[in-house]
């Protein structure tokens, strides 16, 4: 394994609301990817994240990051979380209330670097709030600080456990864009637990689909979801997750509230008032799908 590929081959007995379940995952993750762990509640997403973080030990198996073994049940190797160079972020912001925004971010740095702090403040739109304390910030601003602090450590691996689920739709859209931008700029390998298809399509490069503790599908969002999820209904309302240019046309991916997916061909004139995150209606006219923004 080269280029810091993460290799995972673990088993863990779990107790869920539906009874006992075996989590059994064998997969690898390429360096620099933003991978979504997707599945129903109780599928094992958060447990897998905690195993990678070293907060939970598998019953057996191996976790390897590049040439470094983090966990090996046979060789009795178990590297403590502090030595794994990861950042793990849950829904709880866990900010230091007595520190300013800037101090919270600086605290996470292994080596103090003011230019890096300024970069993170800029990426997450926090420059004007750098001297404020968390108590004076909104939920979305606190989440930005928590994300900036997680990245300030310069982790090899960033683990995000549904970090945006407590925010309203508009703030989620904004932070999804900012996380994607930060990932592109900083290139840190990221695992994101999510049950939101729109979030998965907008942010991830790869998807690991977990069902009852087993990996059932792996691939790009399109490969994992589109074969059996495209809606054939005449009318769908939803949110634009992607706008991809192909030659002289655009392919617009729309995801409805009940996670139906549809792709629509659009032209420049169709997209004058449309952007990612807009709520739209997709309907058919003479058997050709048409996309229209909802007000």
Say what the pLDDT of residue 285 is: 55
pLDDT in tens, 187-221: 899 999 988 888 888 889 999 999 999 999 999 98
Mean pLDDT for 116-122 is 93
Q: Identify whether the C-beta of residue 197 lies closer than 8 Å to the C-beta of residue 240.
A: no
Contacts of range 224-230, beta carbons closer than 8 Å, 24 or more positions apart? 224/38, 225/197, 225/200, 225/261, 226/261, 226/263, 229/259, 229/260, 229/261, 230/260, 230/261, 230/262, 230/263
Q: What is the model's pLDDT at position 229? A: 43
Looking at residues 159-168, what average pLDDT do you find? 84
Q: How far apart are CA 244 and CA 238, in angstroms?
A: 17
List, for residues 31-51, the tens digit of each pLDDT value.
999 999 998 888 999 999 999
Distance (Å) of CA 131 to CA 74, 127, 282: 50, 9, 45
Give the tokens for residue 228: 């059996």
Per-residue pLDDT tens over the stretch 244-253: 988 778 999 9
Task: Domains for the chain: give ranges and CATH numbers.
Answer: 6-225 (3.40.50.300), 230-293 (2.40.50.100)
- The mean predicted confidence, pLDDT, of the chain is 87
Rounded Cα distance between 24 and 12, Å, is: 7
pLDDT classification of 227: cutoffs 50, 70, 90: low
Compute the CA torsion angle 251, 175, 185, 26 (nearest 10 deg). Answer: -80
Residue given tokens 């407590």 in the structure block: 166
For 76-92, write each residue's pLDDT tens digit: 999 999 899 999 887 66
Closest CA to 256 of 276, 274, 281, 284: 281
d(CA 56, CA 65): 17
Average pLDDT over residues 171-175: 85
* pLDDT digits 0-9 by tens, 51-70: 999 999 999 999 999 999 99
Phi and psi of 234, rounded to 5°?
Answer: -75, -30
- pLDDT for res 3: 58
Closest C-alpha to 195, from 241, 152, 159, 164: 164
């Amino acid at each position: 394994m080269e280029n810091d590929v993460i290799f995972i081959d673990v088993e863990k007995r779990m107790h869920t609301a539906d009874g006992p379940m075996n989590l059994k995952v064998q997969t690898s993750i390429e360096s620099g990817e933003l991978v979504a762990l997707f599945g129903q509640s109780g599928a094992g997403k958060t447990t897998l994240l905690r195993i990678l973080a070293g907060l939970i030990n598998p019953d057996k198996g191996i976790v390897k990051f590049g040439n470094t073994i983090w966990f090996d049940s046979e060789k009795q190797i178990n590297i403590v979380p502090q030595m794994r160079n990861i950042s793990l972020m849950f829904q709880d912001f866990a900010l230091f209330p007595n520190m300013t925004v800037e101090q919270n971010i600086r605290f996470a740095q292994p080596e103090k670097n003011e230019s890096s702090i300024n970069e993170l403040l800029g990426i997450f739109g926090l420059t004007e709030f750098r001297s404020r304390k968390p108590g004076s910030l909104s939920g979305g601003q606190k989440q930005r600080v928590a994300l900036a602090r997680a990245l300030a450590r310069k982790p090899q691996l960033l683990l995000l456990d549904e970090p945006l689920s407590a925010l309203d739709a508009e703030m989620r859209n904004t932070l999804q864009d900012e996380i994607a931008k930060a990932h592109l700029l900083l290139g840190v390998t990221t695992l994101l637990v999510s049950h939101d298809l729109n979030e998965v399509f907008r942010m991830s490069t790869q998807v690991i689909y977990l069902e009852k503790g087993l990996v059932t599908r792996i691939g790009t969002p399109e490969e994992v979801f589109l074969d059996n999820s495209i809606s054939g209904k005449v009318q769908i309302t939803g949110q634009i997750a992607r706008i991809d240019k192909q030659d002289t046309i655009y392919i617009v991916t729309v995801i409805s509230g009940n996670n139906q997916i549809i792709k629509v061909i659009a032209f420049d004139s169709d997209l004058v008032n449309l952007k990612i995150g807009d709520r739209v209606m997709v309907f058919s006219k003479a058997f050709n799908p048409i996309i229209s923004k909802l007000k």
